[in-house]
Structure 1
C-alpha cells in the first residue's frame, strides 16, 4: 500500500452527528477524506466549512447506486469508516431489518469484494440486549430491538466475509453520545429546547437508570484511533466505561447552561428495551488505544514532504 493510499480515508455518513467530528479528527491527522453522502448540496456546504476543505472530496451517491468503478475507487482508500445508518429515531422500526440491514450488507460486501483492506463499522450497545452492569465484548449478544438485531446480524455476516478476504474489521460498539448536532428527540436536545423556551419544568423518567455517556467529539477521537491501528480488531466498545445516572446527566447539563428547571421525575416510564444499569467494559478499547499510540509515528504523523 502506497503512502498516498494510506493517507486516504473514506467516511460514510460523514455529514452526520458522528461523521462530522470523525472527519475533523482524520483531517487533523493529515488524511484526505472522501465523504460519501446522499445530499450533494448540503455536503458541498459542509465540506467548505471543514478545517482543511482542500482535503475533503464529496461523493454524492446512494449506497445502492454506486457503479463498479466507483466501488473500486472507494475500496482503494487506506481506511474506511462506515458510520451511515438510517432511521435512528425509531429503534423498534422493522425498517432496520427489512431495509437498512440488506442495504448496508450489499454495500459493504461490494467494498470487500472490490479490495477494501481496513474497515471500521459502527455497532451499538443495543446488541447486548437487557444485560446489566459492565458489558464486555465477549458477552453473547441478545438484542431486543430491531435496530440492535440489524446491527448484530450485519456483524455476523461481515465477520466471515472479512476473514475470507483478509480484511481487518473493527466493529465499534457505540453507547450514548451528546453534543452539537444530536437528534432533536434526544434527551438533552429536548432539555435545551425547554431551557430556551423558558419552561418552568421538564418532564422526564425517574432518572435513576445508569448509562455510559461521552461527548461526541471524544467518541470521534476514539473511533479514529481504533480505526488507525491493526493490532486490536473485532468488536471494541467505544465508550467511557463510567456509569452515570440520567438524572445526574440532566442536572449537570442544567448547571452548564446556568438554568433552573424543576425536574418532573417519573413523568415518563423507563424504556422497556434497555436495562436499568449498564455501561461499557473498556479493556479492549484501552488495548486498541495503546496499539494506536505504539504505531502513531508510522500511521498518523502528518506528511512532512
Structure 2
C-alpha cells in the first residue's frame, strides 16, 4: 500500500513510519524534517503539511494524519488556531481521491470520565487540546461520509518510552535521570490510566491503518488500568534508574480521572485479522 504519513518526523510518526516500511509498504513521509530509514519505499516531502499539493503526486491508498502542534501542552491556543487547517487539509485529500483516512485522536477528547472508554463514550472535553481533537473527529467523520471514504479515528492513550524523546512524563523522567537529579517532583500517583509501550503503540497503529475491515473509533491501548505511581516505579526499576519520585509535590490535575482505560475489543480483532498475537 502507499501510505501518506503526516508529522512523520514527530514522536509517534518516526516509529509508525518504521513499522510501515518494515512491513513492505510505501510511505510518503510529510513533515518539516527529513525522515531517514534503512528500509526501501520511503519518499520525503519536507515543508508545511497543510500546503501539500495532492495533484503533484500519486493519490495515496491511505492518509494517516499524525501532524499536530503542541500535543503535550493541553492548554495552548494553537490547538484551536490550527483546527481549520486540519479540516481543510483532510477535505483536500478527499477531494483528490483519497478514500481511506486515519487520524490520531486522544483519550483527552473524552474529557473527564471514570471507567472504560469505548467508541460510544460521550465526549465532553475541557482543554483546548481535547476540544480541538474532538471537533476534528466530528468534522472528519462527516467529511468521510460525504465522500464515501473509510474513516479510522485512532484514539491514543498513554505512550511509554525510555529514549527521552517527546514531552510525556516518562520523557521528562528520563531527562532528569540523565541530569543526575535525585528526585522527580510528582503528583499523588494514585490515578489509574491505560499505558502502552512506544513500540507496541506504533506497531498497533501501523497494523490498524493497513487493514480496512475494522473502522470508526479504534482505541490504541492496553485495555488495562494501572496506577501512574505503580507504573512509573516499575519503569524506574526496569531501566535501572537512580532517580526517585517525590510524591505530592504537584496536585493532581482537576481534569484527570481517578481511573480510566480503553476498551481494546476492536484492536484485538485487528490483531487477530493480521495474524498478530496480543497480550
Provide the TM-score with structure 1 as the length reference. Answer: 0.85
Q: Tell me the C-alpha RMSD between the 2 structures.
A: 1.7
3-state SS, counterpart of residue 51 of structure 2 = coil
1:182 aligns with one of 165, 189, 198: 165
Q: How does 1:1-305 map to 2 (within 5 A)?
A: 7-39=1-33, 43=34, 46-47=35-36, 50-52=37-39, 54-67=40-53, 69-70=55-56, 73=57, 76-97=59-80, 99-179=81-161, 180=163, 182-183=165-166, 185-293=167-275
3-state SS, counterpart of residue 196 of structure 2 = strand
Q: Structure 1's 134 and 255: CA in aligned 2 closer, same or farther, altered over 3 A?
A: same
Q: Which residue is 1:298 aligned to?
A: none
> Using the alignment, how far apart are the partners of 2:212 and 2:249 within structure 1?
47
> Structure 1 residue 87: deviation in Å?
1.3
> Using the alignment, how far apart are the partners of 2:50 and 2:110 within structure 1?
29
Deviation by residue 1:3-35 (Cα, 9 ceiling, x = unmatched) = xxxx21111111111111111111111111110
Q: Is the 8 A contact 1:24 1:51 kept in 2?
A: no
More displaced stretch, 185-194 vs 277-286: 185-194
> Using the alignment, how far apart are the partners of 1:262 and 1:60 within structure 2?
41
> Using the alignment, how far apart are the partners of 2:78 and 2:181 within structure 1?
35
Q: Is the 8 A contact 1:228 1:292 kept in 2?
A: no
Q: Which residue is 1:4 aligned to?
A: none
> Using the alignment, how far apart are the partners of 1:13 and 1:181 within structure 2?
19
> Which structure's residues are more often helix, by fraction?
1
Unpaired segments of 5 or more residues in structure 1? 1-6, 295-305
> Structure 1 residue 237: deviation in Å?
0.6
Which of 1 and 2 has greater Rg?
Answer: 1
3-state SS, counterpart of residue 16 of structure 2 = helix
Deviation by residue 1:177-204 (Cα, 9 ceiling, x = unmatched) = 0223532x42122222332232222210
> Using the alignment, how far apart are the partners of 1:284 and 1:189 within structure 2?
29
